[in-house]
Amino acid sequence: MPFKVAAFYQFAALPDFRALREPLRTFCAGLDLKGSVLLAHEGINGTIAGTDQGIDDFVAELRHGALFGGRLDNLELKFSEAAQMPFRRLKVRLKKEIVTLGDETADPSRQVGTYVDATEWNALIAAPDIMVLDTRNAFEVAMGTFEGAVDPRIASFGQFKEFAARNLDPAKHRRIAMFCTGGIRCEKASAHLLARGFTEVYHLKGGILKYLEEVPEAESRWRGECFVFDERVALGHGLRESAGALSSDAERESAPCEAAVHE
């Protein structure tokens, strides 16, 4: 039986995030869901898998249920399938940030870059005056990326601000287009660059996953596979499961996914 997989996030004020942990865990367990969810004062981030009905009930609770009281009404959400359950257990964790950058000035709820839909991404990154920047970790980039994209060669997203300080200049890099797996890292990264004085920053709405879902393979500028932090390992065009090289258990555990929790 195939499983439905939901990758989701939203930056939203959740000052009660600690109190939300156990009720959310209990709700997910009651639906027999597995996967990873992060809660922080700034919002929610996760990927879970289960039956079609279980995932639909979970999403309805996030968006409209009493638990979050309508605060997750702008959820960034993507669905895919897995031939087998891609997670071993259910984890609901409390974090300082739902994606770790370590820059208090980077607040996506206050300012964020310009969203670019997947269908408009090819035209943007083809412009001669734009820098295309992959904000993911080096081992993710090694599995696949967009043509001509800059690899920051970072081991974790928390190193992005050091990369930016060393290599990016607002006077020189006037137009930057960023992308990541599901969109969340780019929201933080774009907020960081805007706070540093960059003025024209774009990011791929819904991330690589949305691009692979919506853009026909014949028109695609993506090369390779998209790493996801679950036991499917990688996805291709149409969000099909890939036969890519297996990741280590350490890689899976270190960051549940951008399709789960993006670090």
Q: Which residues pair with 235 in a beta bridge?
A: 226, 241
Residues marked active site are found at: 180
End-to-end CA distance of the chain, in Å?
30
- Strand 200-204 relative to strand 114-116, pairing: parallel
Short-list 100, 27, 42, 134, CA closest to 256: 100
Q: Amino acid letter at 247?
A: S
Q: What is the distance between the alpha carbons of residues 234 and 27, in angstroms, rounded to a whole number?
A: 28
- Secondary structure class of 85 (helix, strand, coil): coil
Q: Do 16 and 91 touch, CB atoms closer than 8 A?
A: no
Q: What is the distance between the alpha carbons of residues 258 and 185, in angstroms, rounded to a whole number?
A: 8
Short-list 260, 262, 249, 261, CA closest to 5: 260
- Strand 226-227 relative to strand 200-204, pairing: unpaired
What are the CA-CA distances from residue 245 to residues 151, 159, 178, 225, 231 (Å)?
20, 25, 25, 10, 11
Short-list 153, 155, 200, 205, CA closest to 174: 200
